[in-house]
Amino acid sequence: MNFERIGYLVFRATRWLTVFAVLALVWRRNAFINFGVYIPTLKPTDVLVPIALLGALAAWVLAPSIRNHIARNAFMRVWIGRLGMLLVFFAVGSLWAFVARGHSPTLLEAGQYIRIGIGMGAFLLVCFVGYGNTRYLRALSYALLGTVALVPLLFVPEERILSWFLVVSPSGYTFLGFQPSTLVMGSFLMPSILLFLSLWMTDRTRKKHIFWLVALLLTSLMLWTGARSAWFATFVGIVGMLWILWRQSRNHRELFLRIGAVLVLFLGALLLLRPLARNTALVRIFRHLDVPTHVSREILEKLASLPRLQGFEGIEYSLLRLPTRLFFEVARPSPGIEFVDGRGKIWAEYATAVLHNPLGVGPDYPTVFRDNPPSYLNGAVSIRRQAGAHSLWLQVALAGGIGGLLYFLLAVARVGKQAYTLSSKAKDHFALWLWGVFVGTAVMVSFVDALEFRWAWVVMALIVTAYENQLRGSGEERLLPVSETK
């Protein structure tokens, strides 16, 4: 039996599964592909990643040429060790929560470890199958463009949108789609927008206008989500890409033309929205703007009477947060806390919790503090809402302690340096996009718990693997032990 051939066939199959796993990120919930009906099933990516990981392991075992690839093995050992060390910090935090706070492990905590593990698994998978193949890495980045499938929703009649994908909150009417959070939806659109814009910025043919147009449509969708952190992250990512291009060419005229095109992009994206959605986007920035932003009570009551959403219990179960305002006013007239709270207060509360728990309390920190509220957080907004820290950096500090945060920051800084090095040396859209999406992601995750964001792990893996592939191409063997380079 030719194990080498079988191993390579498994390896090729694993590559395809990895592409599908990245593409499936856009179908994070099944509401979209089931015509608006939320069905609580496993997310496709969460199934495909473990299967692909098993395939990668099988290929490594079966094919001697894969198993004996010294450079790839060294590369994988480095990042398996780094991610494993981060999990050790989290485990220490969980142990501290058990010993010092009496918090017993729960299924929620196990689920949190699994969700983070899926993201880390996606990272390692991309590193393994993308090593030594720049074209394949580009194909993986293009898989993120699955968000283009959402563009037709811009032109669907609003009545249908209201019955399929609606979120109504005290801040207005926003498009939710299939996500449990508008912020998740908006943040996932950000890499796709930057990818199309990187193509537009580097292409010298007429088709560059097509890239700009698609970016315009996706930006309109992103504005509809109401995710301000995603708006800001996209803008910062664009600025980062423009800065790199300007450093390479020093062409002021071209820079001003691109800045003008970007401003037109955001303005056009806003104008594409229907009046109600457009007003909501404006109010998200100018909070005291006096424009209508709410769906009428009659429409909400009609939606609440739909058979598949019968009663308020059905609405709550659906996780689509349909008539949030109506739900609070009718079903829970005295919720005891405003729905929208400033992140600043939550950041201050959880920063205090970090100082009192320097070892962390594990990934499921909201439950730890809710079940046994400490005196320094008693009655705090974050506990009463069982809210996340709304910041990746605080999330890591709460999960793995101050040591875990410092370790994580060093790893992220290393990835950022590699992204900058790639974009500075190369003049193609892929390297430019890697830098822009890294800068945008670093901004966006400052406003959300992002350890569970699969696409963020994929982007970081693309950066470190592209950088490693460049080292291979330039003849550098930086990751190999000294004894193996002689």
Residues whose CB is less than 8 angstroms from the CB of residue 81 and which lie 6 or more positions away in sequence, other chains included = none
With 70 as the cut, is the pLDDT of residue 317 above it? no
With 90 as the cut, is the pLDDT of residue 154 above it? no
pLDDT tens-digit readout, 388-443: 888 999 999 999 999 999 999 999 999 999 999 999 877 789 999 999 999 999 99
Whether 50 contacts 58, CB under 8 Å:
no
pLDDT band at 167 (very low <50, low <70, confident <90, very high): very low
Quick one: pLDDT at residue 425?
77
Quick one: pLDDT at residue 428?
86
With 80 as the cut, is the pLDDT of residue 62 above it? yes
pLDDT band at 186 (very low <50, low <70, confident <90, very high): confident
Quick one: pLDDT at residue 159?
63
Q: Give the number of other CB atoms < 10 A from CB of residue 231.
A: 22
Specify burial of residue 4 (Cβ count, 10 A radius: 0-12, 13-18, 19+).
Answer: middle
Quick one: pLDDT at residue 330?
40
SS3 of residue 365 by DSSP:
helix
Quick one: pLDDT at residue 267?
95
As given in the structure block, the two tokens for residue 392 are 């990746």
Going by C-alpha positions, the residue among 462, 365, 459 that lies closest to residue 405 is 365
Quick one: pLDDT at residue 234?
96
Q: First vs last Cα of the chain: how many Å apart? A: 35
Helices in 273-391 by DSSP H: which ranges? 275-285, 297-304, 311-318, 324-326, 343-356, 365-371, 381-384
Positive or negative CA dihedral for 146, 149, 154, 159? negative
pTM: 0.85
pLDDT tens-digit readout, 364-376: 888 888 877 888 8
Residues whose CB is less than 8 angstroms from the CB of residue 183 and which lie 6 or more positions away in sequence, other chains included = 225, 227, 229, 230, 447, 448
Length reported for the chain: 486
pLDDT tens-digit readout, 205-237: 878 899 999 999 999 989 888 788 899 999 999
Going by C-alpha positions, the residue among 158, 162, 275, 147 that lies closest to residue 217 is 147
SS3 of residue 462 by DSSP:
helix
What is the rounded distance in angstroms from the CA atom of residue 290 to the CA atom of residue 280? 11
SS3 of residue 172 by DSSP:
strand
Q: Which of 39-53, 81-95, 174-188 has the lowest mean pLDDT?
A: 174-188
Going by C-alpha positions, the residue among 314, 294, 296 that lies closest to residue 304 is 314
Quick one: pLDDT at residue 46?
85
With 80 as the cut, is the pLDDT of residue 280 above it? no
| 178 or 92: which leads in pLDDT | 92
Quick one: pLDDT at residue 170?
38
Quick one: pLDDT at residue 321?
41
With 70 as the cut, is the pLDDT of residue 290 above it? yes
With 80 as the cut, is the pLDDT of residue 201 above it? yes
pLDDT tens-digit readout, 329-347: 443 333 333 434 467 788 8
What is the rounded distance in angstroms from the CA atom of residue 157 to the CA atom of residue 421? 46
Going by C-alpha positions, the residue among 192, 195, 162, 196 that lies closest to residue 177 is 162
Residues whose CB is less than 8 angstroms from the CB of residue 243 and which lie 6 or more positions away in sequence, other chains included = none
Determine what percent of the chain is predicted with pLDDT higher than 90: 44
Write down the domain spans for the chain: 1-68, 71-148+342-486
What value does the mean pLDDT take over residues 351-359?
A: 92
What value does the mean pLDDT take over residues 290-296?
A: 66
What is the rounded distance in angstroms from the CA atom of residue 213 to the CA atom of residue 208? 9
What value does the mean pLDDT take over residues 463-473?
A: 89
What value does the mean pLDDT take over residues 464-473?
A: 88
